[in-house]
Structure 1
């Protein structure tokens, strides 16, 4: 299958999403929250063309727009700071639901083009999905806690830097474990 370059909308969405906590932090003392809410609206709108409009996508979009509307209505920063916790909750919901209704998200990724997987791989992908569920639960809890009780700088540091580093470490650790599991079964 031929790979294509990511679209401008995909790159823009990734950039806005990655920089979102920093934008909120830099802007929270300089710009009214209702104007910062437009960043959240931009994220939602840039994602719109990429979303397969199913139930989950509608829920995600609705939640992002509700947070933005609350920020505009009350001119408050808190709804904007809740966005990263909402994203973690959405991923937890998707990954968790796939544990109850297989195949799991990770198994679907592993299958790629529909190839059959040996039983040990299916079991492994299930375990990896469970690990990601735990990550999203902890990450979302910390994002929520910092949104509610920490200064904006701490919230921004966690949601804009630390959580991405932790995610990268989890990807790297899973890759190393996968190599060992594969070696054991070859």
Structure 2
């Protein structure tokens, strides 16, 4: 799992670095490897579909020898996460509630409402992040694409985690105080 996370984090920067040395068609297996590793690690149906979508992007990259399909992989991942989080709001329990129950199996109603709102926030994040990833893939230079998808988006994810943790501590203190 650690190797998968490291490869995923490095994907945009690796593609950027290798595009100067290899044709896009020879990089096509890279996103497939990532998608298959994720699908095998989670064994969730959604990630099997992502692996299939990634396979289609790889075939497109191989046949067209174009970089665009390789640059669309982060868009596909954001779309999958948006779908996962969004469907959990519809069919429950929300993803953040499931994660919270790993630490605290008996959540009070206020905590359940809070986790639902946090799941909505993550949906908004994945939507926005996916749109920016798409915009960088379509209209930005490869350098800007790699910088956003290989650094900025991860900083934004970390910032959202940190802000949510801070807010959660305040909400818990208010509930217990």
Question: Residues 100-156 of structure 1, C-alpha deviation per residue, up to 9 Å, x if partnerless?
Answer: 112100001111177221010001000100100010000000000000000000000
Given candidates 103, 118, 133, the residue that maps to 2:93 is 103
* Counterparts of 1:112 and 1:124, CA distance in 2: 16
TM-score by length of 1: 0.90
Identify the range of structure 1 (141-150 vs 36-45) with the bigger mean alpha-carbon deviation. Answer: 36-45
Greater helix content: 2
* Counterparts of 2:151 and 2:65, CA distance in 1: 26
User: In the TM superposition, what are the counterparts of 1:55-74 in structure 2 within 5 Å?
Assistant: 56-74=46-64
Shift of 1:53: 4.5
1:171 paired to 2:161: yes
Equivalent residue pairs, number: 176
- Structure 2's unaligned 5+ residue stretches are none
- Structure 1's unaligned 5+ residue stretches are 1-9
TM-score by length of 2: 0.95
Identify the range of structure 1 (81-90 vs 10-19) with the bigger mean alpha-carbon deviation. Answer: 10-19
Alignment check: 8 A CA contact 1:33 1:77 kept: yes
1:24 paired to 2:24: no
* Counterparts of 2:96 and 2:157, CA distance in 1: 15
Question: Residues 24-59 of structure 1, C-alpha deviation per residue, up to 9 Å, x if partnerless?
Answer: 1111222110111121122123334313152x1221
1:90 paired to 2:80: yes
* Counterparts of 1:51 and 1:66, CA distance in 2: 21
